[in-house]
Amino acid sequence: MKGFRRVILVTGTPGVGKTSISRLLASKLDAAYINLGELVEREKLISGVDKMRETLIADTPKVSKRMREIITSSEGNVIVDGHYAVDVVPTKNVHMVFVLRRDPDELKGLMENRGFKGRKLWENLAAEILDVCLW
């Protein structure tokens, strides 16, 4: 069907495997792959910097607008990888959402190996334990 496209979101806390799964899914479905973190950084869709967490703050209205442009111009399926994907892709465009999870003990070690520490580490572990991305 001409013009038909599926938008699939892959979300979850950092370290659960969003990027690995999203890339594999995009490959299997011959879909465009969008990593929200990379998009925000590359296109400077930033509203500020969170110095305490040492991370960029995405300008969600700008990211949402950009995602609408990408989805509209896409000729096929689109896989969106990011923990705030549900906040920047219009619900009407979403075909499916995968919320990835990981055992908190395993996740803690993985996040520490990636340099997460202090408040940033514990906030992300709490988010995983409390199912924040699922809700």
Q: What is the pLDDT of residues 70-112, one digit of tens each?
A: 999 998 999 999 999 999 999 999 999 999 999 999 999 999 9
Diameter of the chain measured on Cα atoms: 50
Report whether 5 contacts 77 (CB < 8 A): yes
The mean pLDDT of 112-133, rounded to a whole number, is 90
Q: What pLDDT does 5 receive?
A: 77
By percentage, how much of the chain surpasses pLDDT 90?
Answer: 81
**How many of the other CB atoms lie within 10 Å of CB of 58?**
22
57-62: average pLDDT: 97
Query: Angle formed by the axes of helices 118-129 and 104-113, to 10°?
Result: 150
Predicted confidence band of residue 1 (pLDDT cuts 50, 70, 90): very low
Q: Alpha-carbon distance 119 to 76, whole Å?
A: 40
Distance, CA of 102 to CA of 60 (rounded, Å): 26
